Amino acid sequence: MGTATEPWKQLLHNALQSNSNLKHSTYFQLATIGSNGRPANRTVVFRGFQENSDKIQINTDCRSRKTEDLKHCPFAEICWYFTESWEQFRINGTVDVIDGSNPDPVKLQQREKAWFASSPKSRLQYLGPNPGLPSISEQPSQESSLDPSSGPVGAFCLLVVDPDQVDYLNLKSNERIAFMSRQDTNGEKLWNSEGVNP
């Protein structure tokens, strides 16, 4: 069993690079547990790693069910399959829900940075009606506009996944590696890896 800082992250970077010609390579599934105890799964977009970390960023609408799920139970799992290279990553961890009411100024800065990193078209979706509620067909379509220099709207939320386990499977090489994190005496995260049967 070897110890490394973020060995799975390099594998993920390589997979993203070798599958970069496929638009869907930046989409993955995020599973959460609802307040009813049932699993919920949906496809989300990879918005990059938080600076100098292995934390994965996802943008979402704070009115969506996934934010309710995560406030009830902060654990989630990502399942990410790369069709070109036949690689799967299952990334398990806790999720920090950062909305506009977050008291931490550093987290609010991260939320704002994620907002401005999004395309103007992507930002507009946060002005629409509440996700998951019945649509009212008589409702006139509203052409919304946003000042490109204004900060995040209230519905915009940043999710930050802090991984503690990663299960990597390469179907081409028939290789599987389990990565587990632990904290050292200084509170730093260290990763152990072990080859396991596919």
Query: For 39-63, what is each residue's pLDDT tens digit?
Result: 999 999 999 999 989 999 999 999 9
Q: How many domains does the chain have?
A: 1
Within-domain flag for 146:
no
> At 4, is the pLDDT very low, low, confident or very high (cuts 50, 70, 90)?
very low
User: Between vectors from CA 112 to CA 107 and to CA 113, what angle results, nearest 5°?
Assistant: 95
Residue 136 placed within a domain: no
Q: Provide mean pLDDT across the span 5-33.
A: 94
Q: In this prediction, what percent of the chain has a pLDDT beyond 70?
A: 93
Contact 87, 170 (CB under 8 A): yes
Task: Give domain status of residue 143, yes or no.
Answer: no
46 in a domain, yes or no? yes
Report residue 33 as tokens. Answer: 């547990």
184 falls within a domain:
yes
- Domain boundaries, position 171: 2-127+152-196
CATH number of the domain within which 94 lies: 2.30.110.10
Is residue 44 domain-resident? yes
pTM equals 0.90
Task: Note the pLDDT tens digit of each residue in 149-171.
Answer: 789 999 999 999 999 999 999 99
Is 34 within a domain?
Answer: yes
Instruction: For residues 191 and 141, give the distance between their C-alpha atoms in angstroms, rounded to a whole number.
Output: 50
pLDDT category of residue 96 using cuts at 50, 70 and 90: very high
Q: In which band, very low, low, confident or very high, does the pLDDT at 2 lie, cut at 50, 70 and 90? A: very low
Give the pLDDT mean for 131-150: 69
DSSP annotation string for the chain: -EEESSHHHHHHHHHHHHTTTSGGGGEEEEEEE-TTS-EEEEEEE---BPTTSSPEEEEEETTSHHHHHHHH--EEEEEEEETTTTEEEEEEEEEEEE-TT-S-HHHHHHHHHHHHHS-HHHHHGGGSSPTTSPP-TTSPPP-----TTS---TTEEEEEEEEEEEEEEETTTTEEEEEEEEE-TTS-EEEEEEEE--
Q: Would you say residue 138 lies in a domain?
A: no
